[in-house]
Structure 1
C-alpha cells in the first residue's frame, strides 16, 4: 500500500472576502434583528459574533441590539466588575435595556439609598413591561399607602395607566 502525500496549501483569503461582502449585502435592520436575538440569549455569543468581522462588531453596538441584550451573566449586586463589563452595562442602560434599567434601579434604590433616581430607573423598566420592575414599583407604592402624604408619594410612584384607577 502506497501512502499518499497531501500537499499543504495556504488558506484561501478569497473566502474571507466573500463572507464580508455577503454580510454587507444584507439589510442593516435584518442584521440588527439577528444580533438582537443572539444578544437576548447570550452575551458571550454576541461577543463571539462581534469578533468574527468588523461589520458585525459595529452592528453589535446598535441601540436595538443592546436593548435586547441578556443580563443574566452580570451580577445583580454591585461588586467589582471589569471596566469592559461596566462599560457594556452602561451602554445597555443608555439604550433603554429593561433589565439593565431594572438592575441599576434596584442598586440605586436599595443599596445606595438614592431613592429618587433608583425609582426613576425602575419606572422606566416597568414602562418597558419588565415584570420584576413592575412588581418592585408596586411594593414601593404599597409601602406608602399608610403614610400621611399618600397622595404625593403615589404620584411619585405611579405606574403607566394607574392614575385613572387611583382617582376612582
Structure 2
C-alpha cells in the first residue's frame, strides 16, 4: 500500500510538508532529480521502509505512519506513570498530533494525581481548565483534587462539593472521607447544619475501601457513640485495623522508594524533635512498638498547605488551619474546628488528624504544658473540646494511650 503525502494520509503530522520549498533556487537538472526522487519515494511500498529498508529521502517522518491506537496507548501509560506534570505536558508540546491525542478523554481519564500536581504558586486559569478537562473525562482523582481546591482555597463551596460528590460516586475513598469531614463540621454552612449520620455513612464507605483516616474516624465515632450507636469493641477493632493498614502502607513505600518521608511538614517535625530533645522519630505505630516515618501527604493537601502559607498562614479573619501539618484544611467559619482540651493551643478538623498529630508532634508539646501546671500525665486521657457548642453533645474525643 503506498504511503501518500496528502493531508488525509498524513493525519496528525508533526512536521511541515516540504512540497514547493525544495525547488526554491533549483533549476534544470537539479530540479528534475529532486522530482524524480520524490516520485520514487511515493511509489515505494510502506512495508519496505518499515522493515528496515533503505531510506531514500531525508526527512521522512515515520511517526506519521504510526496508528492512532498505538500512540494513544503510549500516552495513556505516560499519563498514568508521570512523576511530574512536566513529564506529560512536555510531550503535548512536541507536536500537534501528540497534543490532540494527549488531550483526548481516553488519555486524561487515566492521568494520575502527580500528572496534575500543580504547585500553589503556579495556580492559574490554565491549570484550572486542565483539571476540569480531566474531571470531565471521568478522572475521579482530578474531580477530587479540583473539588478540594475550589471548596477550601477558592471558596466555591457549591462547585467544590459537587466535584467531590462526583468523585465519591466513582467510589473515590478520599472524596468520601472529605465529604464526611464536611458533614461532621458543617463546613461551608452554619454550625446547626451538621449531619452526623451522613458523616458516619460516608466515613463507613471510605473505610470499607481501605482509607486509613476514615477507619480511625469511624473507630472513634463507635467508641464515643458519635452519630452512631456506641460500640467500644468494634471501635477499638477498627483502630487496630487502621494501624495495621498504616504499617502495610509504610512497608510498601519503603520497598518501592527511599524518598518516602513527607517533605516540608515532616522536616518541621524533625526540627521540633531536635529542639525538644525527642529522639523517637515519627512514632505513628506506638501501639505495635514500631517507629515509622509518616506517609507522604496527598498532593491536594500539600497544595492547600502551600496556598495558605503564601497568605501568612491564615485562611481569613478569625479562621484557623487544621494543626495537623499534613492536612491543610481551613475553617469555613469561626470556631468550626475543635481544640485540644488540655493546652488549648491546637485545633483539628477531625479525630483522625488529632490522633496523627498527637503521635507526630503534639504529645511532647501537650505534656510540657501539662507538666507546667495542668497536672495531666502522659498516660491520661486527652480530649478535644468543641468550640462551636452547637448542641451536639459536646463531643469529647477521648484517647487512652498505652
Shorter-normalised TM range: 0.5 to 0.7
- Note if 1:35 corresponds to 2:75: yes
- Note if 1:134 corresponds to 2:180: no
Answer with 1 or 2: which has the greater Rg. 2
Question: By how many angstroms is 1:63 displaced?
Answer: 0.9
Say how many residue pairs are matched.
141
Higher helix share: 1
Which consecutive unaligned segments of at least 5 residues does structure 1 have? 1-10, 163-168
Distance 1:81 1:115, change over 3 A: closer
- Note if 1:74 corresponds to 2:114: no
Distance 1:80 1:35, change over 3 A: closer
CA–CA distance in structure 2, aligned partners of residues 147 and 84 of structure 1 = 37
2:131/2:146 contact within 8 Å kept: no
1:20/1:53 contact within 8 Å kept: no
CA–CA distance in structure 1, aligned partners of residues 76 and 158 of structure 2 = 31
Q: Which has the higher contact order (CA 8 A, sep 6+)?
A: 1
Which of 45, 50, 53 is residue 87 of structure 2 equivalent to?
A: 45
- Note if 1:19 corresponds to 2:59: no
CA–CA distance in structure 2, aligned partners of residues 86 and 109 of structure 1 = 13
CA–CA distance in structure 2, aligned partners of residues 150 and 68 of structure 1 = 34
| CA-atom RMSD in angstroms | 3.5
Which consecutive unaligned segments of at least 5 residues does structure 2 have? 1-56, 206-402
TM-score normalized by the length of structure 2: 0.30
TM-score normalized by the length of structure 1: 0.63
